[in-house]
């Protein structure tokens, strides 16, 4: 069987099957209700619940969700982003050059604190090293670190200081590179760059590519770097994105019922595919059989050794028990598909398309 060292460094020693399809999550996970309550108490100036109490609550939540991911059987876990409020705000608070002026509308009564870049961005305190070290210590399994990508950090901010968003994105990419170097020094082996803004402005795929060149610069090749993109027209960025210096693309496809799968089979998918197999915005747990069918869709694009399985996107908007149910069924589905691959019961279209000389 062909192997893939970059991915297989995360294979558990006691993995039950010969085949291995790595299971993981995109990142965010529903916060326990008590954590939201704790935050309210912390933000209430009249309450004695203080900064230490709030830090302890976040630590507890991080341990809890990391453990919940392990109980679901995931091979690579995340802390569910328990310490993060929102994917741009969290980072903007840690980068010099940003300021906040209040919430802005996204749609209806959904708002976010869209920050303004008012000066050259600069690296100040570490963003994620403490979070990574804590989670790695709490986890039995390997830990992935999701980071909001520089293009999204630029695109979803007001730009008061730079000539254009491209210049801002490149400066931010250098900061992300600095952060990843620190994370790698701390032991991180699996980094995921989240670039949802790419889906909204697909014509900018070259800018995202240049950002990733800066991000990957001087990072050890053994460190796995993934890129998460979601909710867009992939035909406008594929196959161009195959030139990006990343090991894996994590894609949302279950939500659109794999209508866009053809996009990725038209040109050979030369990277690892992290395939979304459960919908992050439907509050019903998909049955194992349905998820198995979705997993097999991935085998139409890549052979098993280059397939990773995850939900479509962060699952933070789901009820927690639904999120757990989806993870649990996802892992079970994957282990069953692996066993069927071992038994030769599943044909792998992505392998059979290729001539032996390609390997």
Residue 158 contacts other proteins per CB under 8 A:
yes
- 284 DSSP 8-state letter: S
Task: Please identify which residue in 85, 200, 235, 352 interacts with other proteins, judged by CB under 8 A.
Answer: 200
Site for other proteins in 92-111 (CB under 8 A): 101-111
- H/E element holding 188? none
Torsion angles phi and psi, residue 189, rounded to 5 = -125, -5
Nearer to other proteins, 71 or 281 (CB): 281
Residue 37 contacts other proteins per CB under 8 A:
no
Residue 283 contacts other proteins per CB under 8 A:
no
Torsion angles phi and psi, residue 248, rounded to 5 = -145, 140
- Draw the binding track, 115-134, toward other proteins (x: CB under 8 A; -: no contact): -x------------------
Nearer to other proteins, 204 or 250 (CB): 204
Place of tokens 């020094």: 185
Dihedral sign, CA of 90, 280, 244, 226?
Answer: positive
Nearer to other proteins, 90 or 300 (CB): 90
Residue 197 contacts other proteins per CB under 8 A:
yes
Site for other proteins in 302-321 (CB under 8 A): none
* Shortest reach from residue 232's CB to other proteins, in Å: 10
Place of tokens 């139409």: 300
Contacts of residues 57-61 at CB distance under 8 Å and 24 or more positions apart, as own/partner, are: 58/82, 58/83, 59/134, 61/31, 61/32, 61/35
Place of tokens 């209508």: 259
Residue 269 contacts other proteins per CB under 8 A:
no
The residues that touch other proteins, with contacts defined as CB under 8 A, are 101-111, 114, 116, 155-156, 158-160, 197, 200-201
């Amino acid at each position: 069987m062909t192997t893939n060292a970059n991915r297989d460094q995360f294979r558990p020693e006691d993995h039950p099957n010969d085949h291995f399809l790595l299971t993981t999550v995109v990142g965010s996970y529903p916060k326990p209700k008590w954590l939201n309550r704790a935050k309210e108490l912390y933000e209430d100036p009249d309450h004695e619940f203080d900064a230490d109490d709030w830090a302890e609550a976040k630590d507890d939540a991080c341990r809890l969700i990391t453990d919940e991911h392990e109980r679901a059987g995931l091979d690579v876990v995340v802390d569910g982003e328990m310490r993060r409020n929102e994917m741009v705000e969290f980072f903007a608070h840690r980068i010099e050059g940003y300021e906040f002026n209040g919430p802005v509308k996204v749609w209806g009564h959904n708002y976010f604190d869209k920050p303004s870049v008012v000066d050259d961005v600069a690296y100040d305190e570490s963003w994620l090293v403490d979070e990574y070290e804590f989670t790695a210590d709490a986890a039995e399994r390997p830990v992935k670190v999701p980071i909001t990508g520089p293009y999204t950090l630029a695109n979803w901010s007001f730009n008061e200081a730079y000539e254009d968003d491209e210049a801002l994105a490149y400066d931010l990419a250098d900061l992300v590179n600095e952060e990843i170097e620190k994370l790698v020094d701390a032991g991180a082996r699996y980094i995921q760059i989240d670039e949802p803004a790419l889906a909204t402005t697909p014509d900018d795929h070259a800018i995202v590519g240049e950002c990733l060149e800066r991000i990957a610069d001087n990072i050890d090749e053994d460190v796995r770097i993934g890129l998460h993109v979601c909710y867009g027209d992939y035909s406008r960025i594929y196959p161009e994105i195959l030139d990006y210096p990343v090991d894996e693309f994590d894609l949302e496809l279950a939500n659109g019922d794999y209508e866009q799968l053809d996009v990725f089979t038209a040109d050979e998918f030369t990277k690892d595919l992290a395939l979304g197999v459960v919908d992050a915005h439907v509050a019903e747990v998909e049955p194992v059989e349905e998820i198995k069918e979705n997993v097999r869709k991935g085998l139409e694009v890549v052979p098993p050794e280059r397939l990773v399985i995850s939900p479509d996107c962060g699952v933070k908007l789901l009820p927690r028990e639904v999120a757990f149910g989806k993870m649990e069924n996802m892992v079970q589905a994957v282990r069953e598909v692996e066993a069927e691959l071992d038994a030769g019961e599943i044909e792998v279209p992505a392998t059979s398309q290729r001539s032996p000389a390609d390997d």
